Amino acid sequence: MRVSKSEFEPRDPNFRAKVENSFNRQQAMDTLGVRLAELRPGCVVLEVPHNVMFTQQHGFMHAGIITTVLDTACGYAAFSLMEPGAAVLSVEFKTNFLAPASGVRFRIEATVLKPGRTLTVCEAKAYAFLDNADASPRLVASMTATIMAVTGREGIEQ
């Protein structure tokens, strides 16, 4: 049995601009060289190159850095479905690491599993490309995240 997931309807017609604006204000994304590759209601794809500055002791990308991109992807997948005026915060996330994050670049795909007025649950996967011609990237990490819509809290604008 596969319960088909209907396409998501954004509550904010301006969802694309607000996600892009917010993404562009995340200095961590700029520092890591993350690119917003795809954006649809409830779905975000990000890409990030390997960067030796962010490796762990074996030369792989640090699990926390892959998690950083997974979290941003989940946050904006959720944000794309939120009402106008809401800001977005991560409540919690869990990441499983399935293979070492080695490769020349990584692709992170996040999808909303369950949208909600206050809480939205997202799933995301990270794939590693061994080289630029790699046509079958390897699944390296999987995240489940709970994302919250926040309104009217000081210091947390949209």
Interface residues with a second copy (CB under 8 A) are: 1, 3, 22-23, 25-28, 31, 45, 52-58, 62-65, 67-72, 87, 89-100, 102, 107, 109, 113-114, 118-119, 121, 123, 127, 136-139, 142, 144, 146, 148, 155-157
Distance (Å, rounded) from C-alpha 34 to C-alpha 37?
A: 9
Closer to a second copy by Cβ: residue 13 or 155: 155
| Least gap, CB of 8 to a second copy (angstroms) | 14
Based on C-alpha coordinates, what's the Rg of the chain?
16
Separation in Å, CA 56 to CA 63, 66, 94, 140: 8, 11, 19, 15
| Least gap, CB of 53 to a second copy (angstroms) | 5
Task: Residue 76: name the closest of 105, 31, 45, 106 by CA.
Answer: 45
| Least gap, CB of 41 to a second copy (angstroms) | 18
